[in-house]
Structure formats: structure tokens, C-alpha cells
């Protein structure tokens, strides 16, 4: 990837910090142009720079640039959320297979896995994630596969654990519970509702010119996990 100017600046993180302190519609309306200039437009630049990279990883990755497909929504759905603040103080750029359809019985986005990069008030993360329930792709296809491929998962853990953190979610008494570590045991995969493998970086990482290249390297390293969880014809 050719060297270019930095995509993000300190203003992106300043916007998120100030939003966290003024999370109300009146403030957002007054700062809408800042949001477009320092969040929306840089994320679109990042999509443009990463698009050719991810298409080489999977020619069916969706790079259409739609909100809800490539970009997370900043508006929070507060109908069923404990947090009633109207806006999220982070944004994600997501890549998933355009052929995958969300499972109607699961939450939105609970189809195949995703490669992603996200910025928040005080951190940058990039990695792989997949969510679902017992009736979703994760429960129907991935969990049985994982129960048979413990050794393959252990090899991936050994390969990646020094550079990446892994955690997974289970449902305990109707509440989401975060479990640290690499899910490699069949008993864990019977309970799994989400799996995230990511690298966490300081905000300064996103303001460097080589940030898109660093994200591309992360995506290439984690591609085997994406294929394991998202390809119906995967083979070890």
C-alpha cells in the first residue's frame, strides 16, 4: 500500500470525547459539521484505501459504503438499551461477505464474521468478530465445526495470542457475560454467543500515515479465523 497522508487526526478523538460529555441532540446538531469532517469523511477515506486490500482477501467482501453495512450507526437504538444516551461515542468500519444474509432469528449482523476497525474516545481496535445465537450461523455451523477442530484452534491461539487479545460471550441467566481467552473447548462452543479477536492500540496509531497498512496487516493475519467461521467449505 503506497504511503499517503494520515486519514485521522486528533480532532476525531476530540469529537468523541466531547460527545461523551455532551451526549444530547442539541449538542450533536450544533456539531454536525465537525462530525462529518472529522469522523464520517475520514472513515470513507479509510474504506477507499482498504477496499482493494479486502477484495484481495475475499472478492465478495461488501465495500459499498452503506451505513449499517460498512459503517456502524452513531445513533443509538435506546428502546431496549440500558444506556439511554442518544449517540454512540465510537464508530466502526466493517467488512463482511455480501452474499451472507442476516439470520432472521438472530440479532442484526449475526450472519458471517466480520473484519473490522473501530475508533472510540481513547482507543483504536482492529480485528475479527462474529456474533449469533444457537439458531444462527454461529450456532448451527461454527460451533459444531469448532467442537471438532480444537487442535486447529489451539494452533491459532499459539500463533496469535502474543499480538492479539481474544474474548468471547456467553449468556448467563439472561445476561451477556464476557469470558477472557481463546475458546477451544467443545463445552465453550456450546455456550458461545460471540467471539472477538482484536488488537487494541492507542489513538495516536490512527493518526499515523501508515495506519491503513497496519490495519491491512491485521486483517491478513486474522483472515484464517474469518474463513474458519464464515466459509461453508472451509478445510483445515
Query: Which residue range(s) make up the domain with 65?
Result: 10-230
Kindly state whether residue 213 falls inside one of the protein's structural domains.
yes
Kindly state whether residue 5 falls inside one of the protein's structural domains.
no
Kindly state whether residue 173 falls inside one of the protein's structural domains.
yes
Kindly state whether residue 236 falls inside one of the protein's structural domains.
no
Give the pLDDT confidence score for residue 110 in this predicted structure.
44
Q: What is the pLDDT of residues 115-157, one digit of tens each?
A: 999 999 999 999 999 999 888 889 889 999 999 999 999 999 9
How many domains does the chain divide into? 1
Residue 1: name the closest of 209, 235, 236 by CA: 209
Stated pTM of the model: 0.91
- Interval 190-205 mean pLDDT: 96
Kindly state whether residue 59 falls inside one of the protein's structural domains.
yes
- Interval 14-29 mean pLDDT: 97
Looking up cell 482484536 gives 198
Kindly state whether residue 97 falls inside one of the protein's structural domains.
yes
Kindly state whether residue 4 falls inside one of the protein's structural domains.
no
Question: Quick check: helix, strand or coil at residue 130?
Answer: strand
Kindly state whether residue 19 falls inside one of the protein's structural domains.
yes
Give the integer Cα–Cα distance in Å for 151 and 184. 8
Q: What is the pLDDT of residues 217-231, one digit of tens each?
A: 999 999 999 999 999
CATH of the domain at 142: 3.30.930.20
Amino acid at each position: 500500500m503506497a504511503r499517503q497522508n494520515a486519514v485521522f487526526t486528533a480532532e476525531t478523538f476530540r469529537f468523541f470525547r466531547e460527545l461523551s460529555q455532551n451526549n444530547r441532540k442539541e449538542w450533536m446538531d450544533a456539531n454536525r459539521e465537525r462530525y462529518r469532517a472529522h469522523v464520517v469523511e475520514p472513515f470513507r477515506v479509510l474504506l477507499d484505501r482498504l477496499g482493494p486490500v479486502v477484495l484481495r482477501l475475499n472478492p465478495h467482501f461488501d465495500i459499498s459504503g452503506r451505513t449499517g453495512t460498512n459503517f456502524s450507526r452513531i445513533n443509538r437504538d435506546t428502546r431496549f438499551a440500558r444506556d439511554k444516551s442518544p449517540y454512540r461515542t465510537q464508530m466502526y468500519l466493517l467488512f463482511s461477505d455480501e452474499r451472507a444474509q442476516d439470520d432472521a432469528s438472530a440479532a442484526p449482523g449475526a450472519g458471517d464474521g466480520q473484519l473490522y476497525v473501530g475508533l472510540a474516545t481513547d482507543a483504536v481496535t482492529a480485528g475479527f468478530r462474529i456474533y449469533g445465537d444457537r439458531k444462527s450461523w454461529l450456532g448451527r455451523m461454527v460451533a459444531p465445526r469448532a467442537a471438532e477442530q480444537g487442535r486447529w484452534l489451539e494452533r491459532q491461539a499459539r500463533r496469535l495470542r502474543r499480538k492479539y487479545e481474544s474474548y468471547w460471550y456467553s449468556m448467563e441467566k439472561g445476561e451477556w457475560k464476557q469470558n477472557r481467552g481463546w475458546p477451544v473447548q467443545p463445552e465453550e462452543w456450546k455456550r458461545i454467543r460471540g467471539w472477538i479477536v482484536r488488537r487494541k492500540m492507542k489513538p495516536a496509531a490512527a493518526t499515523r500515515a501508515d495506519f491503513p497498512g497496519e490495519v491491512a496487516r491485521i486483517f491478513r493475519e486474522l483472515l484464517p479465523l474469518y474463513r474458519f467461521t464464515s466459509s461453508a467449505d472451509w478445510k483445515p
